[in-house]
Amino acid sequence: MPGVYYQSALPLLDIATFKEFVMKSLRPVAGCDCCADLLSASFSRRRFLQTAAGVGVGLGMAGAPPSMALAASGNYDAMLLACIDPRFPQPTFEYMKGRGMVGKYSQFNFAGASIGAVAPAFKDWHETYWQNLAASIELHRIPKVIAMNHRDCGAAKIAYGAEKVANRMIETQTHREALLAFGKEVNKRHPSLKVELGLMGLDGAVEMFS
């Protein structure tokens, strides 16, 4: 989030001091050979860096925001499907934040959002999305998916042609059809999953379809 940074309470350590810290943190278990090489003279730089990375991840979590400390699997609220357009990550985040969903949803981005999942022009991408949705259902036990298309979408023009986004009314209909096709496909594959279908404007305002 712009302007907000999280820092661990631990001081920065030079590599020699950090290596000493890692070595002192390791405690051999009687009769255990699995970490013997870590405590021996043959403990290589590569092995040290691997171990340090693991320790660093653990320590870094102590200074992470609460949402980052949640488990990789569990019960989350939704999967968000959004576009790769660089103009929209921030307004999309603000929209989800306004709904109180920060840290409570998985996210998948590719060109066109729902268009990327259903348009014939992007047929080679389709299964990638559906496999990721299935993974999120299994891992995160999500009860719904939120598809968020946006206006002035280059992928919509690629998929359907410039005439299908020629003016606001035509553009709206093009996105509505893609979103409804997406919702229909979700219902076919995952009948118990709820679906929300939105079209975001350049100002961040969202129009919902059903």
Interval 132-157: pLDDT, tens: 999 999 999 999 999 999 999 999 99
Asked if residue 59 is part of any domain, the answer here is yes
Asked which of 6, 39, 64 is the last residue of a domain, the reply is: 64
What is the structure's pLDDT at 71?
Answer: 59
Whether residue 3 is contained in a domain is answered as no
- pLDDT number for residue 204: 97
HEC string of the chain equals CCCCCCCCCCCCCCHHHHHHHHHHHCCCCCCCCCCHHHHCCCCCHHHHHHHHHHHHHHHHHHCCCHHHHCCCCCCCCEEEEECCCCCCHHHHHHHHHHCCCCCCEEEEECCCCHHHHHCHHHHHHHHHHHHHHHHHHHHHCCCEEEEEEECCCHHHHHHHCHHHHCCHHHHHHHHHHHHHHHHHHHHHHCCCCEEEEEEECCCCCEEEEC
- Asked whether residue 1 is assigned to any structural domain, the reply reads no
Confirm whether 148 is domain-assigned: yes
99 and 149 housed in the same domain: yes
This prediction has a pTM of 0.67
Q: Are residues 91 and 191 in the same domain?
A: yes
Domain containing 49 equals 15-64
Q: 157: buried, middle or exposed (CB in 10 Å: 19+, 13-18, 0-12)?
A: middle
Both 34 and 60 in one domain: the answer is: yes
Residues of the chain with pLDDT under 70: 1-73
CA-nearest of 91, 90, 194, 80 to 148 is 80
Residues 147 and 165 grouped into a single domain: yes
| pLDDT at site 89 | 96
pLDDT at 20: 57
Q: Please state, in angstroms and rounded to a whole number, the distance separating the CA atoms of residues 55 and 61.
A: 10
d(CA 198, CA 82): 10
Assess whether 79 and 179 both reside in one domain.
Answer: yes
Are 109 and 147 within one domain?
Answer: yes
Indicate the pairing of strand 78-82 with strand 144-150.
Answer: parallel
Residue ending a domain, among 36, 64, 92, is 64
